Amino acid sequence: MSSLKPTKFSNLGAEFLMISAAALFAFGGVIAKIVRESGMSAFRLVEIRSTGAALILLIYAIFKIRPELKLKRSEIWDMVIFSVIGVAIVQSFYFTAIKYLYVSVALIIEFTAPIWIVLYLRFIRKKQINPIMWWGVGFAFGGLLLIAQIWKGSTLNWFGVLLAFGDAIALAVYFLKAEKLSKSRSSVSLIVWGLGLSAVFWAIILPWWGFPFEILSKQIPLGGNFAESSWPGWFLILLIIIFGTIFPYLLTIAGLRKLSASTGSVIGMIEPVFAGIIAWIWLNESFNLIQLIGCAVVLFGIYLADKAKTH
């Protein structure tokens, strides 16, 4: 009996890490929206986000865990896939998709990632899937549909839809590769490599000599309930780098040490719920009754996915 307690506690701890990561990603998303509305392009914001986070973590890793940075030959291919597809492409496909789709529609398609993970595990890896997991994914996805209310006049652009589905596949790759790589290396070393290679990718696509550095000294209005206040661009970007990138990525990788990619990705579906709460507090964007019901349905779906993991 006593041997079961540490496992249960570890699972609860991992779930808390994943939920905390979703909250921080949502916080970073709201800050990013404010910065983007000031005139900064989405891709340049992703570039400085990845590069800044990679540099900060690299400095820490060199002094604290240098031996852990060594990349094994057997890890190279998985690490490249994790960095380019799971980190760089997830962000770039999403920000491109929302040029052609409503944000809510793009998010709904992106968060089909748990469905693709479960299908991959069942039909490619030939693993048995607890039926409760299917119900969990279904309820969580249905809750997101209620939150987004996509029936309110959305226009589907075929190119945007393709990008959003590509983003969902890339997000699925992120969870699967993160689950695999996190078994053999620390969270910090994995994220240093992931963000580092992503930063190199962005530097090739968008050379730094064209970066709009003037935005760093620009005073940016906070909007919403804090419209009377403004903060310098460098501070807002630093918040995105530290609280919207470094911490949530580390928490996600740490959580996936105990949870499967399928369970972790379903828990990640709570991110739009947190984004709505933060937007309500900060930007005065409130949920209506249908969206509140959707939040409850998402939480119930996450609960079912967790039961599928622990039983």
Query: Is the per-residue pLDDT at 107 higher than 80?
Result: no
Q: Torsion angle of alpha carbons 39, 43, 45, 47, nearest 10°?
A: -150
Confidence band for 6, pLDDT divided at 50, 70 and 90: very low
* Residue pLDDT, tens place only, 223-259: 888 888 999 999 999 999 999 999 999 999 999 988 8
Structural domain boundaries in the chain: 20-128+154-259
Q: Which candidate, 24, 73, 95, 67, places its Cα nearest to that of 192?
A: 67
Give the separation between CA 246 and CA 123, rounded to whole angstroms.
34
User: Residue 307: CB partners within 8 Å, gap ≥ 6?
Assistant: 132, 136
Amino acid 1: pLDDT? 37
Average predicted confidence (pLDDT) for the chain: 87
Task: Return the higher-pLDDT residue of 272 and 165.
Answer: 165
In the predicted model, is pLDDT for residue 3 greater than 90?
Answer: no
- Cβ within 8 Å of residue 41, ≥6 positions away: 212
d(CA 181, CA 183) in angstroms, rounded, equals 5
pTM for the full predicted model:
0.86
Stretch among 74-78, 216-220, 289-293 having the lowest mean pLDDT: 289-293
Q: What is the dihedral of CA 42, 44, 46, 51, to 10 degrees?
A: -170
pLDDT band per the 50, 70, 90 thresholds, residue 199: very high
Res 77: pLDDT:
96
Of the two residues 184 and 58, the one the predictor is more confident about is 58
Between the two ends of the chain, the Cα-to-Cα distance in Å is 15
**pLDDT tens, residue by residue, 39-78:** 888 889 989 999 999 999 999 999 999 999 999 999 999 9
Q: Is the pLDDT of residue 310 over 60?
A: no
pLDDT score at 10: 66
Q: CB neighbours of 4 closer than 8 A, spacing ≥ 6?
A: none
Q: With 90 as the cut, is the pLDDT of residue 143 above it?
A: no
If one compares 281 and 244, the residue with the highest pLDDT of the two is 244
- Residue 104 — pLDDT band, cuts 50, 70, 90? low
The rounded percent of the chain whose pLDDT value lies above 90 is 49
Half-sphere exposure of 50 (CA within 13 A, CB side): 28
Q: How far apart are CA 176 and CA 260, in angstroms?
A: 8
What per-residue confidence (pLDDT) applies to 274?
A: 86
Range 89-112 average pLDDT: 79
The answer on pLDDT for 208 being more than 50 is yes
In the chain, what percentage of residues exceed pLDDT 70?
93
**Lookup: tokens for 41:** 């392009």
3-state secondary structure 192-203: HHHHHHHHHHHH
Mean pLDDT comparison of 106-120, 183-197, 264-278, highest-scoring range: 183-197
